[in-house]
Chain A
């Protein structure tokens, strides 16, 4: 899909999400996210009226865009994209100007008052570097998220995106989001 050697991405099978919050707590534990903030979240939408109700749950986090607006606007280079596509923040370079928070079409970033820096999902970069899955992917009871290298034709994510239809959110923002919601 890109000319990178590796392109990490997420496919999300939201139909399997039961809104149990395991991913949210796993992320908090793994990344020391303070209460009141979250690197990942679950959108809920209730439609219809009693008794014809329908409710959908849709996990979301940083979309690790191919053309990340947050990286483009960052004045210090703190926000950067790794060769594997993961968009990350170098805390020591972040001056807390928060331009990136405005630029992000997905509202995936938040400011840490305690540290004076912006923070967001980095797909658990430290875990990836150890060869582990992101905490949210691993812990999920119903295995909603499929994580992997899009450029590896043997990967589950590559294969599932060849087989199944999907959508991305806010394609019109033009940032090339890399969370693929399976239909």
Chain B
């Protein structure tokens, strides 16, 4: 805001106060009449970072202030939309709870005593502490946790160049089981062509509240304009359920029984795509034999979905093939045998022949980007602390297995880990079993956090290195593989408001002090220049600066892998219905059903999910979003609520084997009587996140359990007791 305008308005005291408030909330200020020449209204294309979808947007900037974020229709993935969170990106930039300077802890961890320090001091301290850990425990004594961003690679590279094998990322809290299951079946993880599908089955993939672009938008358009059929299984009546043609409140943990019975029907009635299966798949005979035991009547008992419906859905599904799909979930960290369920889905999709077909599954296409060559470092020599080779031989090495890793670090096995660098991740509020995360954190000699806001993890850190937000940052160009691959560009729309830095500069600052500068001897501009060289145009950078996104009209392409000589990236070169790699690793090569643990008498199964206006645990403190849900509640069905004497809005205590919280009840028929549900991202410790201090944290309740093949956290295996307080 310009100073003259402010003084003019500030003459009315009340109005001035309101404006200050408005500024604090990041609201665009009205144009001031006194400004004779209004600042030019700039429209700057860039890329959203409020969740993982990377939607293209156009920032409206006037006088150095971001006034509005509009969708950029040029991106075929985000399809001209910007969701509630994207619109609230302004509040991330102008958030009063941002970390505005480097800070170091002066009191005990978590006591909240901080001093503002210079970057030199913060970086010196970080490097000294990392060196001290290295000296005592070796480089493997440091742990490097990060979540996805366009700059994350620099952080991971620093950890590796430092010599640590211990990086841990988010997939085992999210989609590791899906990724592994589809990779082992098809040799790759495909996208789903929701836009052209005629029949879609979703198991607890609440796609209308948990946005994935373009699937969310396509799902609405497909089911309304094009009359695709949506069959939806979920213990909870979500917004996706509200839009589904059929909703079945399936007994939690039995989705694989539903899938196996579908396989039983489709194979038993010869409804599979014989030509496709004989040309492209291996292991069909064993599969056919294996699923004979799983009849619809049997599955009806397990799932509590009548066999009549299972039979009909199986027939309709195969009739609609290849424009039919059993849609893969995204956060698939549910049960101890989650991987088997995802393999079942992949196999079901395979035998109806929807692979690489319009309206089915399509292997992701790519746009080539160039790469800057930098000096390589020696690979870390120590084994990973989570002992992946022994515990999860098929899991993705670079991602690690979070919960297993935490167990080992707490136990000091196989070796001590005493330094923890965290980037853009909030393990304290984001990971099941918070007491254990705090236990892991407490045994560290050093905890350094790079973030934009005072997350719960930052609150317990020794040093905080503040990153600039996405609206202030130039990032590497990012290619998003998909049915329509796109290249997105993120450029700063305003100068950094505070004493913050982009991650690359933070990494370079630490690297210099650790004598690792030679591995980071480049600038962001040089990095980007190499990347965009590969784009098929004369002035690629100018194009991206102007458009914010590049995509090619040659997509979508279907059927590129449908030639009999195509080799899938599997052991046999075929789509593996029976997986040889699973067999060799000592796992079941075909998915075998194991019934879920029964809900103990008087308890409930805790299930998790999302609202469209929150991103995991990270946006609950932004007022524009928080206003839709100022605290989280525990959804409980009227029947058990009644017998427990719980009325809507009553304060209740929820207790599991890991912890207990107090929260308000929401009595609603939108959930199975044997389950309760709560939203993620509340009950935070950090007083800076005042609006998210309300309600309770699911991380305190969730117990430690994981899927045995992928290592994905099993977040629906916790049972809770509920009582009125």
Stretch at the interface among B213-221, B339-347, B436-444: B213-221
* Residue interface bits A2-34, CB-to-B below 8 A is 1, else 0: 000000000001011011111011101110101
Interface-lining segment among B116-124, B415-423, B559-567, B619-627: B619-627
Among B80, B224, B249, B613, contact of A51 (Cβ-Cβ < 8 Å): B249
Any B CB within 8 A of the CB of A142? yes
Distance, CA A49 to CA B673, complexed state (A): 12
Partner of A18 from the list B220, B247, B669, B673 (CB cut-off 8 Å) is: B220
Q: Is A1 an interface residue (CB 8 A)?
A: no
The answer for the CA separation of A27 and B467 in the assembled complex, in Å, is 29
Which residues of chain A are within 8 angstroms of B612 by Cβ–Cβ distance? 18-22
B90 touches A35 (CB 8 A): no
Smallest Cβ distance from A28 to chain B, in angstroms?
Answer: 6
Q: Is B537 close to A, CB under 8 A? A: no
Stretch from B27-35, B196-204, B483-491, B643-651 at the A interface: B27-35
The answer on a CB contact under 8 Å between B22 and A32 is yes
Q: Given the complex, which residues of A lie within 8 Å of B128, measured CB to CB? A: none
Distance of A34 Cα from B623 Cα, bound (Å): 10
Q: Are A21 and B669 in contact (CB-based, < 8 A)?
A: no
A35 and B87 in contact, given A21-B628, A51-B249, A53-B670 (Cβ under 8 angstroms): no
Does the CB pair B68–A141 fall under 8 Å?
A: no
Which residue of B is nearest A32, CB measured? B27
Enumerate chain A residues within 8 angstroms of B79, measured Cβ to Cβ. 141
Binds B, one of A61-69, A80-88, A96-104, A132-140: A132-140
B431 on the A face (CB < 8 A): no
Chain B positions within 8 Å of A139 at CB level: 70-71, 81-83, 86-87
**Interface residue from A13, A15, A21 paired with B613 (Cβ < 8 Å):** A21
Chain B: how many interface residues by the 8 Å CB criterion? 51
Confirm or deny: B10 has a beta carbon within 8 angstroms of a beta carbon on chain A: no
Given contact pairs A49-B669, A50-B669, A141 touches B29 in the complex (Cβ within 8 A):
no
Q: Are B224 and A16 in contact (CB under 8 A)?
A: yes
Residues of B within 8 A of A172 (CB): none
Judged by a CB distance under 8 angstroms, whether B237 is at the interface is yes
Nearest B residue to A50 by beta-carbon distance?
Answer: B669
* B25 interfacial contact with A, CB 8 Å: yes
Tell whether, in the assembled complex, residue A25 and residue B29 are in contact, meaning their CB atoms are under 8 Å apart.
no
- What does the 1/0 interface line of A41-53 toward B look like (CB < 8 Å)? 0000010111101
Contact A18 B70 (CB under 8 A): no
Question: Are B670 and A50 interface neighbours, CB within 8 A?
Answer: yes
B209 CB-CB contact with A under 8 Å: yes
Q: Is B18 positioned at the interface, with any CB of A under 8 Å from its CB?
A: yes
B471 in the interface, Cβ–Cβ < 8 Å? Answer: no
- Which residues of B sit under 8 angstroms from A34, Cβ to Cβ? 22, 27
Q: Which A residues are CB-close (under 8 A) to B325?
A: none
Q: Which residues of B contact A162 (CB under 8 A)?
A: none
B308 to chain A, nearest CB (A): 16
Q: Is A54 an interface residue (CB 8 A)?
A: yes
Pairwise interchain contact A32-B30, C-beta atoms closer than 8 A:
yes
A55 to B70, CA, bound (A): 29
On whether the beta carbons of B82 and A22 are closer than 8 Å, the reply is yes
Asked whether B624 lies within 8 Å of A29 as measured between CB atoms, the reply is yes
Known interface pairs A13-B224, A21-B628. Does A135 touch B83 (Cβ–Cβ under 8 Å)? no
User: Given contacts A32-B29, A114-B18, are A22 and B217 in contact (CB under 8 A)?
Assistant: no
CA distance A26 to B87 in the complex (A): 6
Q: A135 near B237 (CB under 8 angstroms)?
A: no
Docked CA distance A53–B627 (Å): 26
B274 at the A/B interface (Cβ < 8 Å)?
Answer: no
Given known contacts A32-B22, A35-B25, A135-B68, is B84 in contact with A115 (CB within 8 Å)?
A: no
Distance, CA A135 to CA B211, complexed state (A):
20
Does B14 touch A at the CB level, under 8 Å? Answer: yes
Contact A141/B211 with A22-B81, A25-B624, A32-B29 known, Cβ cut-off 8 Å: yes
CB distance from A17 to the nearest CB of B (A): 9
B69 contacts the other chain (CB 8 A):
yes
Q: B90–A29 contact, CB under 8 A? A: yes
Contact of A24 (CB < 8 Å), options: B80, B84, B216, B220: B84
User: Which residues of the other chain, B, contact A28 by a CB distance below 8 angstroms?
Assistant: 27, 87, 624
- Cα separation A44 to B249 with both chains bound (whole Å): 21
- Best-surrounded residue of B30, B86, B209, B243 (most CB of chain A within 10 A): B243
A55-B613 Cα distance, complex, nearest whole Å: 19
**Pairwise interchain contact B69-A29, C-beta atoms closer than 8 A:** yes
Q: Which residue of B lies closest to A48 (CB)?
A: B669
Q: Does A141 contact B81, Cβ atoms closer than 8 Å? A: yes
Q: A32-B28, A53-B237, A142-B221 are in contact. Are A18 and B613 (CB under 8 A)?
A: no
Residue in chain B with minimal CB distance to A49:
B669
CA distance A49 to B637 in the complex (A): 11
Which residues of B (1-58) have their CB < 8 Å from a CB of A?
Answer: 14-15, 18, 22, 25, 27-30
Contact status A19-B239, CB under 8 Å: yes
Q: Which residues of B contact A50 (CB under 8 A)?
A: 237, 249, 637-638, 669-670, 672-673
Please report the C-alpha to C-alpha distance between residue A29 and residue B83 in the assembled complex, in whole angstroms. Answer: 12
Q: How far is the CA of A22 from the CA of B80 in the complex (A)?
A: 13
Whether B82 and A26, one on each chain, are in contact in the complex, defined by CB atoms closer than 8 angstroms, is yes
B493 on interface, CB distance cutoff 8 Å: no
Q: CB of B715 within 8 A of chain A?
A: no
The answer to whether residues A20 and B83 also contact, given A29-B69, A135-B68, A139-B71 and a CB cut-off of 8 A, is yes
User: How far, in Å, is A78 (CB) from chain B's closest CB?
Assistant: 17
B82 near A115 with CB under 8 A, answer: no
Whether the Cβ atoms of A138 and B70 lie closer than 8 Å is: yes
User: B207: nearest residue on chain A (CB-CB)?
Assistant: A18
Within 8 A of B (CB), among A125-183: 135, 138-143
Is B217 in contact with A142, judged by CB distance below 8 angstroms?
yes
Question: How far is B249's CA from A57's CA once the two chains are assembled, in angstroms?
Answer: 21
Complex Cα distance A36/B68, Å?
A: 20
Q: Counting CB contacts under 8 A, is B88 at the interface?
A: yes
Instruction: Point out the residues of chain B lying under 8 angstroms from A16, CB to CB.
Output: 220-221, 224
From A24, which residue of chain B is reached at the shortest CB distance? B84
Inter-subunit contact B68/A22 (CB<8 Å)? no
- Provide 14 A-B residue pairs closer than 8 Å at the C-beta atoms, listed in order of the A residue: A15-B224, A18-B243, A20-B612, A21-B625, A25-B613, A29-B69, A29-B88, A32-B29, A34-B22, A51-B247, A56-B242, A115-B18, A138-B71, A142-B220
Q: Residues on A close to B: CB < 8 A?
A: 13, 15-16, 18-22, 24-26, 28-30, 32, 34-36, 46, 48-51, 53-57, 114-115, 135, 138-143
Q: Other CB < 8 Å A-B pairs besides A18-B220, A142-B216, 4 of them? A: A26-B87, A34-B27, A46-B670, A53-B241
Chain B contact residues, CB within 8 Å of chain A: 14-15, 18, 22, 25, 27-30, 68-71, 79-84, 86-88, 90, 208-209, 211, 216-217, 220-221, 224, 237, 239, 241-243, 247, 249, 612-613, 623-625, 627-628, 637-638, 669-670, 672-673
Listed from nearest, the 8 A-B pairs whose CB atoms lie closest are A20-B612, A142-B220, A50-B669, A55-B242, A25-B87, A141-B81, A114-B18, A21-B84
